[in-house]
Amino acid sequence: MKELVQNSRNSLLFYVNGNEIIESNAEPDWTLLWYLRNKLNLTGSKLGCGAGGCGACTVLISHCTDRYSGKIEHYTANACLAPLCSVDGCHVITVEGLGSVKNSNIHPVQSRLAEMFGTQCGFCTPGIIMSLYETVSMDDNNESPIMQDIEEAFDGHLCRCTGYRSILDAAKTFATDVDKYISIRESSTSKITSTTFDKCISYSSSILEWYRPISLDELLSLRHSYPGSASKLVFGNTAVQIERKFKHIQHHRLISITHIDELQQLKRTPNSYIIGAGITFTRLQSKLYEWKKEVNSDGGICEALIDQLKHFASAQIRNVASFGGCIVNASPM
């Protein structure tokens, strides 16, 4: 255990809106939203419910999912739940990173909502813009969104002004299956960095320690050193953060398991489906659609799981929550 800590890094390195951020004094209990608003003065992302339910804090995160191929994954997430430590090596885009009137570089997603009166008080608008941006700009298969894609992307947002109709009307002009379709697909010019896989990172404060092992051996070593309640495994933090905020449960040592290759298996054999505990629901959903299209695939099982996932949580939660973690915690989302 001492050897692991000695070989670890003591600073975070990530990017926000194309700017390199090196944070040497990170507190493991800081959330990404707190850091954006209080340290970087990026107040566009709003603190609403603080529980991942309203979507006002939504940001776009890009990170490397495969250290060998360099594949980059882009997804929206609730910044109020995401630990700052979890974005080490990632690129974060906030609403300020898309464009602004001040800089005369407003993004088409922003202008479309404004032109079609898709805002009322504006509090929830930044998060909605980020979800729409991810939907129309970040499809790995270069497929333009349809109306259903846009509706599903908004399932993690609440507009307390009840302005849903104008928001959806504006958003759906980006869809391919409506008469008002306008093709907008801009390539991102923001600098993206791949996740730092090289070391087990560790950070500590007076009340909390954070570890992110990069191998199964390191994970087992950490759990051996801190067994039982001495440490808590965390993936998307969608349950642990809720426990902290509402149940006042304080875990003094968190072990993030997002970088363990053995937990990322996702494959099909003639007689079974192998789903790693660290697979997010979004990745699982995408793979199920792929399997469903394959010849001789058991469409019944895939169809049933796809249908079930549509009713589980929201897009932002599905993007970061792990399959195994939600089963272990019997998540009610």
Q: 304-326 pLDDT, tens per residue?
A: 899 888 888 899 999 999 999 88
Q: How confident is the model at residue 1 (pLDDT cuts 50, 70, 90)?
A: low
CA distance 137 to 149: 12
Is 170 inside any structural domain? no
Residue from 298, 232, 318, 292 nearest 58 by CA: 318
Is 322 inside any structural domain? yes
Is 187 inside any structural domain? no
Residue from 79, 72, 173 nearest 126 by CA: 79
Q: How confident is the model at residue 228 (pLDDT cuts 50, 70, 90)?
A: very high
Is 280 inside any structural domain? yes
Rg (CA), the chain: 20
Cα four-point dihedral sign 221, 224, 230, 232: positive
Task: Dig out the tokens for 289 from the structure.
Answer: 């659609």
The per-residue pLDDT for 296 is 60
Average of pLDDT values for 15-43?
96
- Flag whether pLDDT at 330 surpasses 80: no
Find the CATH number of the domain harbouring 280. 3.30.465.10
Domain residue limits at 289? 267-329
The per-residue pLDDT for 299 is 64
- Flag whether pLDDT at 97 surpasses 80: yes
222 — phi, psi (to 5°)? -65, -45
Say which residue the tokens 């908004």 belong to: 154
> Whole-model pTM?
0.78
Q: What is the pLDDT of residues 240-281, one digit of tens each?
A: 998 888 889 989 999 999 999 999 999 998 888 999 999 999
Percentages (nearest 5) of helix, strand, coil residues in the chain: 35, 15, 50
E strand or H helix at 290: helix 281-293
Q: What is the pLDDT of residues 194-212, one digit of tens each?
A: 334 456 777 788 788 999 9
**Number of structural domains found in the chain:** 1
Is 292 inside any structural domain? yes
Read out DSSP for 87-133?
GTT-EEE-HHHH--TTTT---HHHHHHHHTT--SS-SSHHHHHHHHH
Average of pLDDT values for 37-44?
97
Is 281 inside any structural domain? yes
Is 223 inside any structural domain? no
Is 302 inside any structural domain? yes
